[in-house]
Amino acid sequence: MPKTTLHLPVIQNWSCHNCGGCCREHLIEVTADEKQRIERQRWSSADGVPSDRPLIVRHGNDAWRLNHQQDGACVFLDDKGLCRIHGKFGEAAKPLACRVYPYAVHPVSSSLTVSLRFSCPSVVQNLGQPVHEQKWLNQLSEEIVSGKRTQLAPPALYGGQQLDWEDLLKFVAVIDASLVHSSTDDVTFAVRLMRVLSWLELVEESRFDTVRGKRLDDYLDLVTRAARKAQPDNDLPVLKPSRMGRLIFRLIVAQLLRHDTAQTVSAGLRARAGLFRTGVKFTLGKGTVPQLPEPPSVVTAFRDGKAPNQQRISFADLERPFEGRTPEIDELMTRYFRVKIQGMHFCGVANFNMSLVDGFRSLALMYPAVLWVARMKSAAAGRETLAIPDVQSALATLDHNFAYSPALGTKSGTDRIRILGRMQQVTRLCGWYSL
């Protein structure tokens, strides 16, 4: 009998399709207990694991991770793309990180909520069994929280404004509901998103010390109505983001695009200098856009296994309209946002302790970031409009890092979100790159 209530998203499907991407493209941290357990399994070259390297290596000063083979795959991945630990000792013998992925479990008041990582191509494509039918997640979540404190303080609403869980979750529910497409309010995802960003600006100017309970419901009803009235249809004046807004945005995209794998982490000085040059090019935003290879799982899932021929494109090419507001793209982005919001994967402990408002802005920036990277892919393939595989592959690539890349959680990383919010550039970026 599970002790903790688990909230599962009802809009998302997933089953593993054995692409092996997670075993090739992620660094798997293991706890001291897991390290001991794997050592007790007594692996040798007779089992097919590499004999020229340790199976577990240090990760930073006080952590451990599974080592990788020459081609970047986990030392336990076999030639058929299957896990040797799973094959020999069963699923439960694997490190917890492997068993949980692509799920992410977060505390909400006295219960838990589940989000998914869209770095998994099957999540992006919504393939497999409905997540809310996967009752085995209850057992897994018990293991995840075992012995840990789940009743954490709620994230701040913004700055120093703290609410209790009940009132904070009212904001979460209203944001989620505001992003749902409705036939009686037939506007694109870009407009729905921009409306939320606009009423959150009002929230930041309000104090909620006495606005609680029913008064808070009335307040939320008022601001959401005002946002709908201000943006009643798709016919919006879209304002170009400022030069500074676009510069900070490109820096965030560069961080989201960086794909740290075992190979890049152990890359030599030359490779690191290449990463630095790419960062400088993104900062300047002039000349040709550096060509960045797609992760192998993305190439397999969205390019039929063939990396496309790439034309050289310039940063200026990415500023023209690419028609990003199609129903297919809107469906994908709506599902992505709702899974992250319902799974509390955008603020608090799940996203570098950001407040709800800052965390939502960091999530909102994923929309223009994904469309900007999709523009790169479309333009490089000689297309004038966005194709859905370009958007899917951009989302799978960038969500690998969203809320996970340590660079996004540094002070300068979180300051960038705050600065863009203060400059009212997040809304502009969402409108501009959705065209």
Which residues of this protein are in contact with ligand SF4, per CB under 6 A? Answer: 23, 28, 66, 74, 76-77, 83, 85, 94-95, 98
Quick one: 90 or 237, whose CB is closer to ligand SF4? Answer: 90
Cβ 16 to ligand SF4 shortest distance, Å: 10
Quick one: 28 or 387, whose CB is closer to ligand SF4? Answer: 28
Quick one: 74 or 108, whose CB is closer to ligand SF4? Answer: 74
Cβ 404 to ligand SF4 shortest distance, Å: 16
Listed residue (173, 179, 189) closest to 344, CA to CA:
173
Listed residue (166, 162, 156) closest to 217, CA to CA:
166
Cβ 39 to ligand SF4 shortest distance, Å: 14
Cβ 147 to ligand SF4 shortest distance, Å: 22
The secondary element (H helix, E strand) that includes residue 113 is strand 111-116
The secondary element (H helix, E strand) that includes residue 337 is helix 327-342
Quick one: 16 or 177, whose CB is closer to ligand SF4? Answer: 16
Phi, psi torsion values for 69, nearest 5 degrees: -80, 175
Task: Give 104's strand partners.
Answer: 115
Quick one: 80 or 306, whose CB is closer to ligand SF4? Answer: 80
Quick one: 73 or 379, whose CB is closer to ligand SF4? Answer: 73
DSSP 290-331: PP-PPPHHHHHHHSTT-PPP----BGGGGGS------HHHHH
Cβ 25 to ligand SF4 shortest distance, Å: 10
Cβ 32 to ligand SF4 shortest distance, Å: 16
Q: Report the side by side order of strands in the sheet with 111-116.
A: 6-7, 111-116, 103-108
Count each helix (H run) and each strand (E run) in the chain, helices first. Answer: 20, 6
Neighbours of 239 (CB within 10 A): 12
The C-alpha atoms of residue 162 and residue 153 are separated, in whole angstroms, by: 9
Quick one: 23 or 163, whose CB is closer to ligand SF4? Answer: 23
Listed residue (117, 125, 144) closest to 26, CA to CA:
117
Cβ 66 to ligand SF4 shortest distance, Å: 6
The secondary element (H helix, E strand) that includes residue 250 is helix 243-257
Longest Cα separation, the chain: 69
